[in-house]
Chain A
Amino acid sequence: MTEWGPYDFRYPHIHLTDIKDSIYTFVVFGPAGSEWNIEQSRGFKSMSLQQGNYQDTLIAFRQLNTAEISINAVHKGSFFFDHTGNFIPANDSFKFTFKRLEPFENWITKCYPFDDHFPTENILQGKVDHLNLVQTYTSNRLHRDWWSLQYEKDGQKQKTNSFISVSQGEVEIEPGNYNLELYLSGRSRVYLNDRIVYDGSESEQSKPFLIPVELLHKNNKIVIVSANKAGIASIHCRLLLR
């Protein structure tokens, strides 16, 4: 799959198949009988191939001190149609890229049952000490879906559709300009380094959206407060290259 749907194996494409520790395995797909070569890469110490044929497996060894990884390659060989139906003639120097941002992140998400009232300003500021903490999750990426919040109380399984979640993340990345991709259900507010960067509700955003951000320091703090009533709830936040 690509962001535009199923990949049809006809145009050049670098596909990440596996990550094991710092070893990344890719397959370079493209029109049969043609070749590719790598012009530039970032975030890798070394690679098993610098050029090859399509369907070749490329193994790359990650350099751990950079968040951005990228591979820029050039196609050499037969004609093809790209993903928009554009005809690329044979031997045209067509460039294709793999890009991914992998900042060092640590997230802790805490959940509190909450009645059906609209969240107060205090709650949207993450002041939830008066609420009953029932569930805590830690992760190195923030992506979580709920089909109602389930927890245990006095040895009994409980579930509720109305709850507040407060996610706090430490994000380590090179200073620069990025996009913050968010997908949040319910009524939510997002703070980046104690500054509000999003304050809205699900009805305004039915799909993930981007907020351009400038990060001035290597260490950053993101806090997301979200109040949900519908049972089905999502929190998703990641930094993307701009």
Chain B
Amino acid sequence: MRILKYLFILSGLPGFLAAQDRPFITLKSGMTIESGAFVNPREYLCHDSIWNTITITGENFTLDFSGATLWGAADTVSPDQYKGLAFIIKDAKNIRINNLRIHRFHTAIYIENSDGIYLNNCDFSYNYRPKLYSYREHEILSDWLSYHNNESQQWKSHGAAIYAKNLKNSTFESLRITGGFNGILLDKSNGNKVFNSAINFNSGVGIGLYRSSNNIIQHNRLDYNVRGVSHNFYRRGQDSAGVLMFEQCNKNTVAYNSITHSGDGIFLWAGQQTMDQGSGGSNENMFYANDCSYAPTNGIEVTFSKNYIIGNKLNKCIHGVWGGYSYGSLIAENQFYDNKVGIAIEHGFNNNLINNSFSNNEKAIRLWKNENTIDVPWNAFNMKNVKQNEVYSVWSNTFESDKIAIELLNGKNFDIQYNIFKKTPQILYTEKVNNCKLTFKQNITDSISEQSLSRSQKRKNTSIPEFISILDEQTKRLIPPKMVGDLMSAFQCIHGMAYLLSS
């Protein structure tokens, strides 16, 4: 045991000795740092004189700022007047930066063309933030954000705690970014990780990705990245978000984060390239076990793309999931409670809504299509994709006390099986589905009536709903409420497993 103890101590010795080799430096305006150092942990009042950005470049070293704090403006300056860039990291590889604090700059750190940067235990709070003009009773339209184009690094001018372009294999850990505009913006940056960080109470986006793939965002607090909300007056969000992914962002993982009260919890858009050419998208991203509740707009918004939304909490939003034009997506094992609409998808196809739990939503699932979509700006996407057979699989979900469980408008092919409906006044509401193939079988309910399976109220008396005839005997059978409760968990489990095995 004693030998093990000595071995353990000796194993830390090389690192300790290497640390002793690092010089002790004091930061100076415009300096370039190319080797490891301990930094004088004082407060640097960068606004007292002209302050030029510090450059960090080179390879294989550690910079320990020991709590050094850079202030870019005096406390009398309003946040929309903060200027300047504190640090630029460029052409760098394997550099570790610890214990740095930067406040009241326009952008704290800009990273370019770098690999293996490790930022640990840093605080980049209270940097630039624009003034908001919306007030209690009214929103002002100029407060709306637009992240749709970053081809010329337009995002850079917005200001952020960290803006990174062409960054790869890097890690941001234990960062604190609050009271600012944007947290971390990644542009054409792949294979990075953001974890254990608190990026909250910012007025733009917590973490934003543009043409960035294979990144992992995990175990962060990304709450209250929001604007455009006034209780009892308006809930707009104005395109703020906890996590934003725009333009060809693929195979990212967003898991185990708390993303509550943000404009959208997660906001994904395929991108202009997809709108123009009809191809590509922001695809195969995994959103797993996040809490995206209390979004003033959408818990998760994913459009024109194919993604996996699994095991998330999506409660008390306007839409739990807004999935306009989503295709081939899997929305499974999520919890939807007290939303205006749990899952809302317009013009989607080949989507699988499996094993979700819905309760107390005004509408649990709403799937629809508008008749005329020729004149929309994304017509290229329509032309390439909407010819496909629009199958929706709605399998093994549980619905409890939702006003309407499933609403279908003007679609083509719906496969609704193995669901459980409990205390649901209207199980199925349909409009303009005369030419659609609707499979509705093996579902269980605690009560059933023609009303609960009615078509549009307007058309109810003019034709008998066709799908009543394809209900099988098991579905039509009345099952006492208690039995439904007992069956619910077993049923879900069996069919959830069956699905996973089959896929």
Chain A interface (Cβ < 8 Å from any Cβ of B): 1-8, 16-18, 83-86, 141, 143, 145, 183, 206-208, 232, 234, 236
Q: Is there an interface contact between B131 and A4, defined as CB atoms closer than 8 Å?
A: yes
A1 to B201, CA, bound (A): 10
Which residue of chain B is the closest to A87 with respect to CB atoms? B75
A183 to B142, CA, bound (A): 9
Q: Is there an interface contact between A208 and B231, defined as CB atoms closer than 8 Å?
A: no
Q: Is there an interface contact between B137 and A143, defined as CB atoms closer than 8 Å?
A: yes
Extra A-B contacts (14), CB below 8 Å, given A207-B140, A208-B140: A1-B227, A5-B129, A5-B179, A5-B181, A5-B203, A6-B201, A6-B226, A6-B227, A8-B179, A8-B200, A8-B224, A86-B75, A207-B142, A234-B141
Contacts of B141 in A (CB 8 A): 145, 183, 232, 234
Q: Which of A85, A86, A232 has the most CB of B within 10 A?
A: A85
Q: Is there an interface contact between A143 and B138, defined as CB atoms closer than 8 Å?
A: yes
Q: Is there an interface contact between B140 and A4, defined as CB atoms closer than 8 Å?
A: no
Candidates A5, A85, A183, A232; contact of B133 at CB < 8 Å: A183
A207 to B134, CA, bound (A): 11
Contacts of B261 in A (CB 8 A): 6
Q: Which of A3, A18, A83, A145 has the most CB of B within 10 A?
A: A3
Candidates B77, B140, B203; contact of A236 at CB < 8 Å: B140
**9 A–B contacts, CB within 8 A, in A order:** A1-B134, A3-B133, A4-B203, A6-B225, A7-B201, A8-B178, A83-B126, A207-B133, A236-B138
B56 at interface, CB cutoff 8 A: no
B104 at interface, CB cutoff 8 A: yes
Q: Is the interface of B mostly helix, strand, loop or mixed?
A: loop
- Report the interface size for chain B: residues with CB under 8 A from the other chain: 34
Q: Is the interface of A mostly helix, strand, loop or mixed?
A: loop
Q: Is there an interface contact between A84 and B224, defined as CB atoms closer than 8 Å?
A: no
A7 to B224, CA, bound (A): 9
Contacts of B77 in A (CB 8 A): 84
Contacts of B103 in A (CB 8 A): 85
B390 to chain A, nearest CB (A): 29
Contacts of B137 in A (CB 8 A): 141, 143
B259 to chain A, nearest CB (A): 13
Q: Is there an interface contact between A84 and B133, defined as CB atoms closer than 8 Å?
A: no
B44 to chain A, nearest CB (A): 14
A84 to B137, CA, bound (A): 25
CB contact under 8 A between A5 and B227, given known A85-B125, A86-B75: yes
A109 to chain B, nearest CB (A): 15
B229 at interface, CB cutoff 8 A: yes
A27 to chain B, nearest CB (A): 11
A179 to chain B, nearest CB (A): 13
A85 to B70, CA, bound (A): 12
Which residue of chain B is the closest to A86 with respect to CB atoms? B75
A206 to B140, CA, bound (A): 11
A82 to chain B, nearest CB (A): 8
CB contact under 8 A between A208 and B179, given known A6-B201, A234-B141: no
Candidates A3, A145, A206, A232; contact of B131 at CB < 8 Å: A3
B73 to chain A, nearest CB (A): 8
B312 at interface, CB cutoff 8 A: no
Contacts of A8 in B (CB 8 A): 178-179, 200-201, 224
A62 to chain B, nearest CB (A): 15
Contacts of B179 in A (CB 8 A): 4-5, 8, 83-85
A55 to B93, CA, bound (A): 49
B169 at interface, CB cutoff 8 A: no
Candidates B136, B202, B232; contact of A5 at CB < 8 Å: B202
A232 to B358, CA, bound (A): 37
Contacts of B75 in A (CB 8 A): 84, 86
What 0/1 pattern do residues 358 to 384 of B give for CB contact below 8 A with A?
Answer: 000000000000000000000000000
B residues 327-375 touching A (CB-CB < 8 Å):
none
Q: Is there an interface contact between B203 and A6, defined as CB atoms closer than 8 Å?
A: yes
B262 to chain A, nearest CB (A): 9
B379 to chain A, nearest CB (A): 20
A224 to B230, CA, bound (A): 27
Q: Is there an interface contact between A4 and B125, defined as CB atoms closer than 8 Å?
A: no
Q: Which of B75, B77, B140 has the most CB of A within 10 A?
A: B140
A208 to B137, CA, bound (A): 16
B residues 180-229 touching A (CB-CB < 8 Å):
181, 200-203, 224-227, 229
B281 at interface, CB cutoff 8 A: no
